[in-house]
Amino acid sequence: MEDRTRAIGDAADAMTDDELETAIAALHARERELLVAGDSDAAFALMGTKFVLLSTLEDRRRGSGDVPGGQGVGW
């Protein structure tokens, strides 16, 4: 499982913010479809992937320097 998570993290690191947002939205939509269909195991697996992408995007935005000349302050 760690290798899979690491591979997803590496792929997320290579994505632009727009690509991450698109992938997160697609995963979320598919997750909902799976939950409606009653496949909670598959939905849970997608949640893990989505979490990695969300974490990558959040970390990037938090440290992206939202404040000129400094690190982001998390606003």
Q: Which residue, chain included where needed, has tokens 């290798």?
A: 3
Per-residue pLDDT tens for 26-70? Answer: 999 999 999 999 999 999 999 999 999 999 999 999 986 444 444
Domain boundaries, given as residue ranges, for the chain: 2-61
**Among 26, 29, 25, 23, residue whose Cα is nearest residue 9:** 23
pLDDT of residue 5: 86
The runs of H, that is alpha helices, within the chain are 2-14, 17-36, 40-62
What's the predicted TM-score (pTM) here?
Answer: 0.77
Asked if 67 and 73 touch (Cβ cutoff 8 Å), the reply is: yes
